[in-house]
A and B are shown apart, each in its own frame.
Chain A
């Protein structure tokens, strides 16, 4: 078994490493034949395959899976377990890829073959943007090289028949349960909870079906006008229509997607019981989609906001928003775009389309400022209509309709508030928001999210993120808290079209010095070990070497270190500026502006605080010295700091990402794990095992044995906590710290404070838990350590 795995790995590596561009399937096939003839290895492989077959480990599919006659022109393979493989060199790759992104989750997207997986959630998302069960099955069948496996057909039917059939519509502040299928509504009304929540129709003008008593609407499909004069596409992308072959394949689908002649049946429900009805519907296997008919909402005041005429929306931003406003209504969901690809602009464009009161929730006070700046930059909104709500600035909200920007912690805060903030909080809770923009949705713990979402009454929620990924696999919760994933961009495609910088990723292997490694082996303390491999003198020298090299080239460099001790040591040793948790706001701004404008300041050192939301478009090089274990998200976020498109320079690459790793230590393990997300996006990491000329350069620090031994003595003299990575408090707002202090006083005074706060059930307690994760071992790795011990 392991043999065959190895072989599989080697074959993939040869195919992906070959530089040749395969434009057509034929090129590829010729090449394959070449390889086969040269190596003569085909026979061997098939022989060993037979061996394994006899052992009964593998199943022979060759008789069940018959290739279609014209399989060459069809681009995908569908496996019975829900995995789909797409050939990117197929002439209809673009169309097939658009279709697959709509119905399946991208797993891995390197250069030649993309892997997708069908999941119940992805199918749920597909239904919510207007695809129907039969369309999905027929199109999949047409694109597939093989007859569609029965399991897949069954799976799709099972997942889609109930999903998305029922919608909850908020119209003129009345809640309606709407469906194109009256029989489904009848089924739902058999349930006592739902039927008791029903409100009998009283309006004379609405057309009522005499038999069932449902309100009947002719489906009015007006393509939503996305602000900026771009016509939104209906449900499926117009690209599909361009290609003749695809047109042929998808003809039927377009017919059914076009739902202009469809009738919608609906009944009204009591606003008081909406929550119960929603819950009940999920239990009954008919989860309700929530849509907002913002065009016909005359109750909530309009917001005067439009994109500036100079603002250009990129094609993928338009595409992602067309999924959101597909049928003239706004639906809730999540848009996944790489860092630096313009998430904020997508959010602002959505805001300009809805034109109602907008609430923006972000993770830190710094990004509150940046969102405000972005709003002023891209749209024509008046400054007085934007209000910030953070612990430092509690601005009064604009009375009619406006934009309010705040942080998750401010809204979820469960303790006592000052009079000012209580007043604003009440306003936030009482207002009916047209759109809530949730920035960096992946970082927020579910408990806090639920709190935020119950406090704010919103017609529509849009989540924005670059990495829909959490090490604790809680990401699926977002499907129910916000909505399905509406769109996910392909990093490599964006890079090719020049919307992202072309980054060269490398992992630099730094051997441990003998003395450091001896300590590493004999020391029992995990945090000491961590400090030892971070402070490895060879790593230090590699870092200095790379800084020198890139400063000479004229690049701007950011060095990341999670470990504060290492950060200070490196920065002071090399005479550079550094920013970490305790660095004050004004000082940060001054260092950042020096970095941006002063040609002599080419390098800055930043701790974890720089991972997200700090926008430094000048930076072209990232050197990572120490990091948060195997966090794939952190790696992607850090890479994101240099992804903003750069003017093309001489070479092939215009941005560089280095990760320094101490050889023969645990860091090697984490380093590879961290890269997995980026590898799945199609990036490849070069390993640099030796930097040319580094040993001859005596000017580097720690070249002599004596210096190295001194450093070792210093490192060993440090306390336990130096090995830990930084605890971040200003990640979120200061209010949490103030909050915990206040709680103490509440405990002392016997009457004050809610029972909730005393029992630790208040909102910020869940946050504290989240916070402590950064310095306690992650549960995933705990297992690993235990496993190792054995």
Chain B
């Protein structure tokens, strides 16, 4: 029997996949683990994809040092 799900397919590298899985747990997204680099976000729409994208950006920013941070550090 064939099941049809509506949603979004996410392709990413293995660590990012872990990250997406981690936030999905917090935000209660329904995710299907396909393989090492693919995830399927069940019922995923633009809003949830944006949320994931935003969290990823936050992670990147956190781990990036910028010379302009100097002032913030002080």
Contact = CB atoms under 8 A, between A and B. Distances in A.
Interface in B8-55: 13-19, 21-22, 36
A518 interface: yes
Interface stretch (A360-368, A540-548, A660-668): A660-668
Interface stretch (A141-149, A609-617, A669-677): A669-677
A524 B46 CA distance: 31
Contacts, number: 56
B22 A664 contact: no
Given A514-B36, A784-B73, A669 B18 contact: no
Nearest to B62: A788
A517 interface: yes
Given A511-B13, A511-B14, A780-B73, A672 B64 contact: yes
B1 interface: no
Interface string B52-69: 000000010011110111
A72 to B, nearest CB: 30
A337 interface: no
A521 interface: yes
Nearest to A672: B65
Given A511-B13, A780-B73, A783-B73, A517 B18 contact: yes
Interface residues of B, number: 21
Contacts of B69: 673
A512 interface: yes
Nearest to B17: A514
Contacts of B73: 780, 783-784
Given A664-B59, A783-B73, A514 B14 contact: yes
Q: Chain B: interface secondary structure?
A: helix
A788 B73 CA distance: 12
Given A511-B13, A517-B14, A669 B64 contact: yes
Given A511-B13, A511-B14, A518 B64 contact: no
Nearest to A521: B22
A522 interface: yes
A521 B14 contact: no
A5 B68 CA distance: 10
A664 B18 CA distance: 11
B37 to A, nearest CB: 10
Given A517-B19, A780-B73, A783-B73, A666 B14 contact: no
A244 to B, nearest CB: 39
Nearest to A780: B73
A518 B22 contact: yes
A302 interface: no
Contact of A512 (B15, B22, B72): B15
A783 B13 CA distance: 32
A664 B19 contact: yes
A513 interface: yes
A470 to B, nearest CB: 14
Nearest to B68: A5
A512 B72 CA distance: 29
B63 A521 contact: no
A664 B67 contact: no
Contacts of B36: 514
29 contacts: A5-B68, A511-B14, A511-B15, A512-B15, A512-B18, A513-B15, A514-B14, A514-B15, A514-B17, A514-B36, A517-B15, A518-B18, A518-B21, A521-B18, A521-B19, A663-B15, A664-B15, A666-B63, A668-B63, A668-B64, A669-B63, A670-B65, A672-B65, A673-B65, A673-B69, A676-B67, A780-B73, A783-B73, A787-B72
The 8 closest A-B pairs by CB, nearest first: A672-B65, A514-B14, A517-B15, A668-B63, A517-B18, A673-B65, A521-B22, A518-B18
Interface of B: 13-19, 21-22, 36, 59, 62-65, 67-69, 72-74
Given A668-B65, A669-B65, 15 more contacts: A511-B13, A512-B15, A512-B18, A513-B15, A514-B14, A514-B15, A514-B18, A517-B19, A518-B18, A518-B21, A522-B22, A664-B16, A669-B64, A671-B65, A783-B73
